[in-house]
Amino acid sequence: MIKVVFLDRDGVINIEPGHYTYELENFKIVPKLFEALNVLKDKDYQFIVITNQGGISKGVYDHDAVKEVHIYMKLKFLEAGIDLLDIYYCPHHSVNENCICRKPDSQMLEKAIARYEVNKLHSYFIGDSDRDILAAEKVGITGVKIDANNSLINYLNQID
């Protein structure tokens, strides 16, 4: 079994500008993110992104836009020496449909836990909203809530 730090995307990995981030020119990495992830990597954590992308359901952008941003994000991770195990995203939004993948529901986490044989007792979900923490609690993972756009380096003391 592996130890994983699950990461919300907008506000944790990249700066949350107050509207949907789906264009590369608006995708800016939060300062010192990779410094923090390298500390966690040295503790044998692996990384999976779990993100709601409800703008797809609302017609603001499409799957291709999300995939383009995620390819770019993976490249930035690789350049920093961080392997990104996987990315899960929910394209739904509660204003248009119900689903069990959109956080605070937990299907994305459940899939990742099963696929990668994640040790839930030694894994964390880092997010900037209550829905991230609720999703973590539903699957028995410790949630760490951070302030949006704040460096993860400031929260490492909450992760063993």
Catalytic residue IDs: 8, 10
Dihedral sign for Cα atoms in the order 79, 80, 83, 88: negative
Task: Extract the runs of DSSP E, i.e. beta strands, from the chain.
Answer: 3-7, 45-52, 84-90, 124-127, 142-145
Positive/negative CA dihedral, 60, 64, 69, 70: positive
Q: How far apart are CA 106 and CA 121, in angstroms?
A: 16
